[in-house]
Structure 1
Amino acid sequence: MTSSTCRALAICCLLSVTSTPRADLPDLVDKIRPSIVAIGTYKKTQSPPFVFRGTGFVFGDGNQVATNAHVLPNTSGPDDPVLAVLIRSKGSEGTLRLAKIVQRIQERDLAVVRIDGPPLPALKLGDSTAVREGQSIAFTGFPIGGALGYSPVTHRGIVSAITPIGIPGGNASQLNPQLIQQLKRGAFDIFQLDATAYPGNSGSPVYEIESGTVIGVINMVFIKGSKEAAITSPSGITYAIPADHLK
């Protein structure tokens, strides 16, 4: 055996020992899906009884669910539908659990609700301050809600920019006094993603493909024209609130 062959073998052995294996995305999605829930309202006498409002994901102790503040209903009268979470597992049509709002922060468009029953698999919150532009990400949720059935759908992309912004608006017509006041109170960093999300993805967790840790929460897409264009002509520009705000 020549000396050059020995050196080549030594390098190969060194690489096999020191390289860190990357998580396989299909395996990662299998772990993420049980933590993804559909958030809506329930009333037995309405049709349909469950009305979908957005996506949520389980974190913390397994009974905490994170979502967007704008996903939750504003009314809570005795005759109003109650807040509920639809849990879908493989081979089942899903089960409903009642939920209650723990906290809702409009300025960051984040909310936490608590669900009844046994805990679900919880996703881990990562350090969103370590996120870098160009980083690969994925997110899982319910695009277009019940129109596609309540089966979690995964999309992938990259963090295209980290930019200071208020609550992102799709176009100038979405500027309103509330948004202007938010901008006056001070902007905060938000992730702009090169990835396509749809109505229904609000509240979806954005996670690192390497580890599965959550680094953000989908909250809005850039809209070209009317709201219908978000479905017919998606811009491919999506915004997410950094997960550190949940902590």
Structure 2
Amino acid sequence: MRRPALYSSSSRPPQDPAPARDTSAEVSAPTVPAPRFFSLSNPRLLWATLLLLIVLLCLSLALALRPLPRKLTQEDINAAVLKTLETTQLPSAVAKAYEVIRPSVVRVTSYRKSKDGKEDVEMGVGTGVVIVDKGIILTNLHVVRSAQSIKVEFADGLESSASIVGMQPENDLAVLQAHTIPDDMIAATMRSTGDLAPGDHVLAVGYPFGIGPSASAGVVSGLNRTFRSPEGKQEMSNLIQFDAAANPGNSGGPLVTMDGAVVGIVTAILNPNQQRSFVGIAFAVPIENAASAIGLTPF
């Protein structure tokens, strides 16, 4: 018997031919030229680009060649400070102390009535220092003793009448209350005399012979001194002795340290020749005694 013929599986049955493509509806896309960044046909663009590159190159070289800032050393700082000290005039310690105390110093003038009672006659001029910003002023009792009226003049020029509100005769101290005070009244700072020693620099501020405010500098020349008035009517002890110039009119003024703090109230000068002029020794009541005259707690 004859066997049927076998066919390979890779053979595919014949397919219908593909239909013809209709190109009548197709529209050809416009041709876009490729972008050109550099072109020898545009010399202006070429020169601008070259110029920009040259500028950038120059900036890069300048930054690369610039020296780095040198780090400051302590020697540099010391040299700068020394140069400043050599070329700048700094205020002295005395000048700075004076500026601190000056707003608190007042001129004190005492008056009595003339014989006909029609006008006030000046009895004398002294100094005071504001120690409470409400217008409480310390001065010497002998400056205002027997005065029928008292006038004080503040640092800003304001004048006011004043009255005695306290006394400490054993230390020749009087406490005044000004009836009118400046809006920016500044009270002095007080400092304990506990660490005060001979040789410490001090400043006396006041109105010697009515001139002032005047400042004179010196040192503490002694502590716990005793002074007897020329007439022998009064003796005071525990006084600060100093050699800053003081004259009539300085009485009642502050004796201050170089930080401008009050350590005493100038009260007397030594007058061996009875001329009432400074001979190199003056005395001040310690501020502890003066503060107690108005009831302030001692340091």
Could you tell me the TM-score, scaled by structure 2's length?
0.60
Asked if 1:245 corresponds to 2:294, the answer is no
Asked if 1:83 corresponds to 2:140, the answer is no
Aligned to 1:208: 257
Asked if 1:169 corresponds to 2:228, the answer is yes
CA contact (8 A) 2:141 2:173 kept: yes
**Partner amino acid for 2:213?**
P
Instruction: Give the Å deviation of 1:41.
Output: 2.8
Query: Aligned residues, how many?
Result: 205
Separation (CA, whole Å) in 2 of partners of 1:41 and 1:224: 27
Separation (CA, whole Å) in 1 of partners of 2:131 and 2:120: 31
Instruction: Give the Å deviation of 1:217.
Output: 0.6
**Partner amino acid for 2:180?**
G
Separation (CA, whole Å) in 1 of partners of 2:120 and 2:290: 34
Instruction: Give the Å deviation of 1:112.
Output: 1.1
Three-state SS of the structure 1 residue aligned to 2:194 is: helix
RMSD: 3.0
Instruction: Give the Å deviation of 1:195.
Output: 2.1
Separation (CA, whole Å) in 1 of partners of 2:251 and 2:125: 9
Aligned to 2:83: none
Aligned to 1:41: 110
Runs of 4+ in 1 over 6 A off after TM superposition: none
Three-state SS of the structure 2 residue aligned to 1:201 is: coil
Q: Structure 1 or 2: larger strand share?
A: 1
Deviations 1:92-130 (A, max 9, x none): xx3321111121010011121111223521101100122
Larger radius of gyration: 2
Which blocks of at least 5 consecutive residues in structure 2 are unaligned?
1-73, 79-90, 292-299
Q: Relative contact order (C-alpha < 8 Å, sep 6+): which is higher? A: 1
Three-state SS of the structure 1 residue aligned to 2:228 is: coil
Aligned to 2:215: 154
Separation (CA, whole Å) in 2 of partners of 1:31 and 1:99: 24
Could you tell me the TM-score, scaled by structure 1's length?
0.72
**Partner amino acid for 1:217?**
I
**Partner amino acid for 1:74?**
S
Instruction: Give the Å deviation of 1:175.
Output: 1.8
Change (3 A) 1:52 1:230: closer
Change (3 A) 1:24 1:62: farther
Instruction: Give the Å deviation of 1:88.
Output: 4.1
Aligned to 1:117: 180
**Which residue of 74, 82, 97 maps to 2:160?**
97
Instruction: Give the Å deviation of 1:47.
Output: 6.0
Which blocks of at least 5 consecutive residues in structure 1 are unaligned?
1-7, 13-21, 76-80
Deviations 1:219-246 (A, max 9, x none): 00000222xx233xx3110000000112
CA contact (8 A) 1:62 1:121 kept: no
Separation (CA, whole Å) in 1 of partners of 2:92 and 2:131: 20
**Which residue of 187, 196, 220 maps to 1:131?**
196
Instruction: Give the Å deviation of 1:83.
Output: 1.9
Deviations 1:41-68 (A, max 9, x none): 35694366x5543110111234110011
Separation (CA, whole Å) in 2 of partners of 1:238 and 1:29: 19
Three-state SS of the structure 1 residue aligned to 2:282 is: strand
Separation (CA, whole Å) in 2 of partners of 1:52 and 1:175: 21
CA contact (8 A) 1:55 1:142 kept: yes
Percent sequence identity is 27
Three-state SS of the structure 2 residue aligned to 1:129 is: coil
**Partner amino acid for 1:96?**
E
**Partner amino acid for 1:137?**
V
More divergent stretch after superposition (114-123 vs 125-134)? 114-123
**Partner amino acid for 1:46?**
E
